[in-house]
Amino acid sequence: MEIDYRHTLQFADGWDPAALRGLLADARRIVLVAHTNADGDAVGSLTAMYSLLRRVTESSCHSATQPLSHSVTITPLLPDGCPDDLAWLPHTDLILSGKADADRCRKAIDEADLLVAMDLNNLDRTGVLAEAFKACRAKRLLFDHHIGPDRERFDLVVSDPEISSTCELIYWAFRIAYGHEVFDTDAATSLFTGLCTDTGTFSYSNRQASLYLAAAELSQMGIDPMAINQQIKNVFTERRLKFFGHAMSELLTVYPEQGTALMVIRREDMEAYGVESAELTGLINEVMKLRDVECSILVREEDDKVRLSLRSKHSTDVNHLAGELFDGGGHTRAAGATSHLSLAETVKKVKQRLSLLPTLLLLVLNITLFASCGDVPVVDLQQDKGDTLKEHMINSNRINASRQETTIEAYISRRGWEMTSLGSGVRVMETEHGHGPQVNYEDTVTLRYSVEALEGTVIYDSVETTVVAGRMEPVPGLDAAVRTLREGSRAKVILPSEQAYGVPGDGNRIGHSMELLFDVKILKVRKLK
């Protein structure tokens, strides 16, 4: 059966194979670049492009209609250099680092007459090289598969957001423009690597059969697919493997109600294990292996910014979410963003955005569990719809909150306590003044506490735990109270159920809709830098 591969590219307006051949035919000093924190698709695209342009310039492709006859210099750049785990790819020894080889990079950019950018939708993603690229007067060519390429900054754009990877995009573009003969084993190895890494070895959602056709054709070009997969997968150092374990056990918070996972990585976390940002590649994909997680967000702190990686499985458009949060973007199922807020402020903004769903779920739970209470109206979920249902839910919660507020006020009055209200029904009273550092958002806090019901029953006694302020689920009220204290402080904290364990309780000793009294001692505060 004859397969028409030309349908696999949605060419940009005004683009055709002759435009690519013409742009390359005029170039004598070519600079290649991919995005910062390069992954397999970025490095694969970069090194494959180097191989392909060498083949074109050497006039070794008999089917090429415009082979180049003049001398051509090709300089590959990466903002952060090539990651160690991809250094086995062909030509990586030629890649200049925007940080380590800054002067050579600037010289190459200044002298270039053609810039070829890959696997990025705007030049801001070239990190430390971005300003030099924006200022250069060279012609600009872009190969990318992300949503929303910045067409105004490029003379020619080859773009298809539906395609699996930039490596696949490059494969079909050169296959169409120059034929099979342009590909050597080096180019095929690099391109196959990008196909594998950006699709999780063909396990992610792929809408086009062109991916498998490209993989099949590349596998017949002298490459060893099994060896490539071994190189991709078996690249962990001991420190990297240990850090992944630490991150999964200590830095990951799962919100089952939302089907969401959030991982926050500080610089000091990475420094403790001696890992670099590039070594975090693949970590978020490990989080996505959790059965009940639909969406995961990894937030990591860098020197002067905070990076976010977002992934989803089915219903969440993380491209939209990344754009809404920090003007980021990417794909529907995989996106990224950069925040110039502090790590604590970034995480707070993410959590505020993700906290909308639990509120709705709580409303539904309130209705179903409070229906047996004499002072709460019973709501028939099968009959009430739209605004009527919403009104009943709000009314049910208002009645319950009012009842608990009355109970808490009476309890405080009987004891003659002077407590500070933090809003949402949370009260706190410091009984021992601390002199250590103030607890702030994302600080690591070791505390000891006991819990009792307002009627006097001790539920938990002398529990010692270490938490991260701002992540104390499912007791947001205690989280808020702790952030008013210092190391060495002791306090009484009263929480209505909605600020503690909610309607369901903790599934153990804390029952439905219980108002709770915490006696909290702050033992140690480790500051977020």
Pairing relationship of beta strands 420-423 and 329-330 according to DSSP bridges: unpaired
Q: Are residues 228 and 255 in the same domain?
A: no
Per-residue confidence band for 12, with pLDDT thresholds at 50, 70 and 90 = very low
Per-residue confidence band for 6, with pLDDT thresholds at 50, 70 and 90 = very low
| pLDDT, average across residues 301-311 | 87
Residue 298 has pLDDT above 60, yes or no: yes
Q: Which residues does residue 522 pair with via DSSP β-bridges, in sequence order?
A: 447
- Token match 């790590």: residue? 343
Q: Which letter does DSSP use for residue 11 in this model?
A: P
| pLDDT, average across residues 424-442 | 91
Q: Which letter does DSSP use for residue 437 in this model?
A: P
Measured distance CA(262)–CA(310) in Å, rounded: 9
pLDDT of residue 506: 75
Q: Are residues 226 and 250 in the same domain?
A: no
Q: Are residues 522 and 474 in the same domain?
A: yes
Domain edge (last residue) among 233, 261, 288: 233
| pLDDT, average across residues 479-506 | 89
pLDDT of residue 354: 76
Amino acid at the residue 184? D
- The model's pLDDT over 500-513, given as tens digits with 9 standing for 90+, comes to 887 777 777 887 77
Q: Which of 82-86, 206-210, 359-363, 433-437 has the least mean pLDDT? A: 359-363
Domain edge (last residue) among 233, 262, 296: 233
Which tokens in the block code for residue 341? 């807020």
Q: Are residues 267 and 335 in the same domain?
A: yes
% of residues, the chain, pLDDT over 70: 85
Counts of helices then strands in the chain (DSSP H, E): 16, 18
Per-residue confidence band for 242, with pLDDT thresholds at 50, 70 and 90 = very high
Which tokens in the block code for residue 50? 């180097």
Angle subtended at Cα 349 by Cα 486 and Cα 262, rounded to the nearest 5 degrees: 85
Residue 27 has pLDDT above 80, yes or no: yes
- Spacing of C-alpha 334 from chain mean position: 8
pLDDT of residue 505: 75
Among 274, 257, 273, 270, residue whose Cα is nearest residue 298: 270
Q: Which of 146-155, 202-211, 253-262, 368-377 has the least mean pLDDT? A: 368-377
Contact present, 306 and 267 (Cβ < 8 Å):
no
pLDDT of residue 10: 47
Q: Are residues 377 and 446 in the same domain?
A: no
pLDDT of residue 116: 96
How many distinct structural domains can be found in the chain? 4
- Outline where 433-492 has alpha helix (H): 476-482
pLDDT of residue 355: 65
Which tokens in the block code for residue 284? 């978020």
Q: Are residues 244 and 345 in the same domain?
A: yes
User: What is the 3-state secondary structure of 329-386?
Assistant: EECCCEEEEEECCCHHHHHHHHHHHHCHHHHHHHHHHHHHHHCCCCCCCCCCCCCCCH
Measured distance CA(189)–CA(50) in Å, rounded: 12
Q: Which helix (H) or strand (E) element contains residue 100?
A: none
Residue 297 has pLDDT above 80, yes or no: yes
72: domain CATH number? 3.90.1640.10
508: domain CATH number? 3.10.50.40
pLDDT of residue 106: 94
pLDDT of residue 353: 81
Measured distance CA(513)–CA(376) in Å, rounded: 13
Mean of all residue pLDDT scores within the chain: 83
**Phi and psi at residue 193, to the nearest 5°:** -60, -45
Measured distance CA(156)–CA(199) in Å, rounded: 26
pLDDT of residue 170: 94
Measured distance CA(514)–CA(509) in Å, rounded: 11
Residue 62 has pLDDT above 50, yes or no: no
Which of 49-53, 290-294, 416-420 has the highest average model confidence (pLDDT)?
49-53
Q: Where are the beta strands (DSSP E) in 388-425?
A: 420-423
| pLDDT, average across residues 78-103 | 92
- Which residue segment(s) compose the domain that 74 sits in? 5-233
Residue 489 has pLDDT above 90, yes or no: yes
Measured distance CA(378)–CA(381) in Å, rounded: 9
pLDDT of residue 219: 93
Per-residue confidence band for 149, with pLDDT thresholds at 50, 70 and 90 = confident
Residue 96 has pLDDT above 50, yes or no: yes
| pLDDT, average across residues 279-286 | 86
Reported pTM: 0.60
347: domain CATH number? 3.10.310.30
Q: Are residues 47 and 133 in the same domain?
A: yes
Measured distance CA(431)–CA(492) in Å, rounded: 7
pLDDT of residue 70: 60
Higher model confidence: residue 141 or residue 258? Answer: 141
Q: Are residues 212 and 154 in the same domain?
A: yes
Higher model confidence: residue 58 or residue 128? Answer: 128
Q: Torsion over CA of 41, 92, 80 and 281, rounded to 10 degrees? A: 40
Q: Which residues does residue 430 pair with via DSSP β-bridges, in sequence order?
A: 491
pLDDT of residue 280: 85
Q: Are residues 166 and 68 in the same domain?
A: yes
- The model's pLDDT over 350-405, given as tens digits with 9 standing for 90+, comes to 888 876 333 433 333 343 334 334 443 343 434 444 455 455 555 656 677 778 88
Measured distance CA(321)–CA(312) in Å, rounded: 11
Amino acid at the residue 261? A
Q: Are residues 228 and 145 in the same domain?
A: yes
Q: Are residues 466 and 433 in the same domain?
A: yes
Per-residue confidence band for 2, with pLDDT thresholds at 50, 70 and 90 = low
Q: Are residues 196 and 291 in the same domain?
A: no
DSSP string over 101-170: THHHHHHHHHH-SEEEEES-SSGGGGGGGHHHHHH--SEEEEEE-SSS--GGG-SEEEE-TTSS-HHHHH
pLDDT of residue 150: 85
